[in-house]
Structure 1
Amino acid sequence: MTDPKATEAHEEAVAEEIEAVAVPGQTQQAAVAARSPLQLVWARLRRDPTAMISAAVILLVIIAALAAPLVASLIGHGPNEQFRDDGLTEFGTPVGPNSQFLLGTDNLGRDVLVRLVYGAQISLIVAFAATLGALGIGTLVGLVAGFMRGWVDTVLTWLMDTTLSLPQLLFAISLVALVGPSLGTTVIVIVLFSWAPIARVVRGQVLSLREREFVEAARSLGASNWRIMRVDVLPNLLVPILVYGTLLIPQAIVFEATLSFLGLGVLPPTATWGNMLSVASTGSLYTIAPWLVIFPSAALLAVTLAFNLLGDSIRDALDPRQTLFAGRRRLARNRAAKRAARRKASA
């Protein structure tokens, strides 16, 4: 849920922007005219606390993933290094957070903190690779289906519907059983189930764009269909593609964690958040070592929530009509309050 105070602050910022345009004055109009659309989008995102906090969380996770070898070197613990003497109690159970193991250890005496940052590497690699693959395939299929129409559209739409109707988890289990679990297999499985929704969104946008005047003008000049799709139509699809991509990344992270938790993703001893949760569930280990569940779950929740909130903020900033309407309403209320105050003062 969006913070009401953050929403109110965002609306006030937009209202100020509208008021600057609405108030006559050459200086204000020149200042607004000098700002590019990209600068306006950045200004809206910068004034949105939710977007800034989400971006900070994502940046922190990326830095932690990139600095995983440095973290392991500073602490002196490898991601798969087992500390049977110091990392386990005399009963063979994991050691809780302490000065030597900041986030505790797992059932084999491995440092949870080091494995957590190395798990961030796997999650981000899978998420970005799968998102890029799904966006590329989905954009191409949706673009061709929506622009070509006819039997091409029929066949590609049937392929989209068939893909969406497949049970994801059962199909993933079958595919992994055939080729074996690995990092590459995980990316392929996510891409196979992620491109179809993107293709449907792109196809719907292309259907509304193919009859526009600029497309007809390009046809009259003798441009080929591929050139029109690449030069004229595709740039107008970047906004929905970008927004959908930011929302697809957390889905890929969760799906990879699910496959790894079930033993169908990245195999142990490679550190992933799903594998760490799987270890915690072995023999109800989480009952005596709750940190094995708390820290990987918190990392998953923080990353997925941050990407979802950032995607929503980017969508609002790129298509700010709803926010502008709210800003106009606030501006009208402020002006009405000022007039009422002036009438009261004059009375």
Structure 2
Amino acid sequence: MTTADLEQLEHELPPGEPVDKKIAGKSPTRIAFERLRKDKVAVISSAVVLLLILMGLFAPLICSLWGIYPDNSDPASPRPSEVLSFDTFPAIGPPYYPFTWEHPLGLAPRTGYDNLARLLYGIRTSLSVAAAATILSTVIGVSIGLVAGFARGWLDRLISFVIDLFLSFPFLLGALALAPIIISRFSTNLEALSKAQVIALVSVLVVFGWMALARLIRGQVLSLREREFVQAAQVMGVPTRRILFKELLPNLVAPIVVATSLTLPAYVAAEAGLSYLGIGLTGVPSLGQTINDAVNSYAEYPLYLWAPVVTVMVLVLALNLLGDSIRDAFDPKTRR
């Protein structure tokens, strides 16, 4: 708004009406966050996700204050013979005895582990694995997508061929092939096996999860590289690395944020599914492992199965709804 426009506006307004001469603009990111703040679905989903993150993050503290244990490694934890009856089912709490605050979700058959403690540590494990895989796959996908989109000729064709090659390889088959190799290699050392399983699971998720984001970023860069600010930087002799990370990358924040918000729940579900199939994590508590253990006891002890199933459902649903809200907020064509 020019000075002449302000003077004309002063003449048109009634006497005594102030004119704000400072016109404040809003960045697209600020507009997106304001839309998220006004979105009730986004607020509720964020609250649920934050609650589950805090439950997993402070799992050791919660278990210590409650006096519950995820396994028998702590000397203070009860032995299975102390809490299980002759048929290996809990001697206190569900399914055969009244509810007790000592073990709100009961105890696991055959082992006597506290189900609430296993659930808290399972959330911690699932979110940690999913977050690590999401960060790594995002970094790899964005980097390869930037190079593929900005490059021309044989390099672009080679990277596109590699992306198509990885997309054609079945994810589940790769995980099934990798798990037995790791178990046979580290079967004599349980501590090393647990670490190897975590690293292998994150690696499998990353290796088969970066391609979709790379394709998305490549398509965005193909459009942006013909814009005036990129061509001007090339004419001025700006190094390619600076063009990629200083000129192009800031314009890709919205699709990266949207893709990341939708990748995280997919990895949570993938981790639970692989652990349920027995090819994920076995040395540390996880949601999928608990579901796998609870299947055989479902008829007598349904709470043992439904607790982790509902937790996975709520976590994935909240993350998906939050991802949809983020997508709508960062999409300039969407008006909600």
Q: TM-score range by the shorter chain?
A: 0.7 to 0.9
Matched, 1:91 2:87: yes
Q: Deviations over 1:250-307 (max 9, x none)?
A: 1111111112112211123x210011001012xx211111111111011111111111
Aligned-residue offset at 1:98: 2.3
Asked if 2 retains the 8 angstrom alpha-carbon contact of 1:129 and 1:187, the reply is yes
How many aligned positions are there? Answer: 298
| Residue equivalent to 1:122 | 125
CA distance in 1, matches of 2:327, 2:118: 34
CA distance in 1, matches of 2:133, 2:106: 32
How does 1:177-326 map onto structure 2 within 5 Å?
177-180=180-183, 182-268=197-283, 270-281=284-295, 284-323=296-335
Aligned-residue offset at 1:215: 0.5
Would the alpha carbon gap of residues 184 and 102 (structure 1) be closer, same or farther in structure 2, given more than 3 Å must change?
same
Specify every segment of 5 or more residues in structure 1 that has no aligned partner in the other structure, as ranges. Answer: 1-23, 327-347
Asked if 1 retains the 8 angstrom alpha-carbon contact of 2:68 and 2:103, the reply is no
Q: Deviations over 1:136-157 (max 9, x none)?
A: 1111111111100211111111
Matched, 1:72 2:63: yes
- What fraction of aligned residue pairs are identical, expressed as a percent? 41
| Residue equivalent to 1:55 | 46
Kindly report the root-mean-square deviation, in angstroms, between the aligned alpha carbons of the 2 structures.
2.1
Would the alpha carbon gap of residues 28 and 127 (structure 1) be closer, same or farther in structure 2, given more than 3 Å must change?
farther
| Residue equivalent to 1:19 | none
Q: Give the secondary-structure state (helix, strand or coil) at the position aligned to 2:112.
A: coil
Aligned-residue offset at 1:86: 5.3
| Residue equivalent to 2:190 | none
Asked if 2 retains the 8 angstrom alpha-carbon contact of 1:102 and 1:113, the reply is yes
| Matching residue within 31, 37, 42 for 1:46 | 37
CA distance in 2, matches of 1:219, 1:265: 47
Q: Give the secondary-structure state (helix, strand or coil) at the position aligned to 1:182.
A: helix
Would the alpha carbon gap of residues 156 and 110 (structure 1) be closer, same or farther in structure 2, given more than 3 Å must change?
same
CA distance in 2, matches of 1:62, 1:55: 10
Would the alpha carbon gap of residues 162 and 64 (structure 1) be closer, same or farther in structure 2, given more than 3 Å must change?
same
CA distance in 2, matches of 1:32, 1:41: 20
Q: Give the secondary-structure state (helix, strand or coil) at the position aligned to 2:334.
A: helix
Would the alpha carbon gap of residues 35 and 214 (structure 1) be closer, same or farther in structure 2, given more than 3 Å must change?
closer
| Residue equivalent to 2:135 | 132
Asked if 2 retains the 8 angstrom alpha-carbon contact of 1:83 and 1:110, the reply is no
Would the alpha carbon gap of residues 158 and 290 (structure 1) be closer, same or farther in structure 2, given more than 3 Å must change?
same
Which residue identity lines up with residue 252 of structure 1 in the other structure? Y
Which residue identity lines up with residue 259 of structure 1 in the other structure? L
Which residue identity lines up with residue 190 of structure 1 in the other structure? L
Would the alpha carbon gap of residues 86 and 158 (structure 1) be closer, same or farther in structure 2, given more than 3 Å must change?
same
CA distance in 2, matches of 1:204, 1:53: 33
Aligned-residue offset at 1:75: 1.6
TM-score by length of 2: 0.83
Q: Give the secondary-structure state (helix, strand or coil) at the position aligned to 2:102.
A: coil
Specify every segment of 5 or more residues in structure 2 that has no aligned partner in the other structure, as ranges. Answer: 1-11, 73-77, 184-195
Would the alpha carbon gap of residues 28 and 251 (structure 1) be closer, same or farther in structure 2, given more than 3 Å must change?
farther
Asked if 1 retains the 8 angstrom alpha-carbon contact of 2:133 and 2:206, the reply is yes
Q: Hey, which of these two has a bigger chunk of helix by percent?
A: 1
Which residue identity lines up with residue 200 of structure 2 in the other structure? T
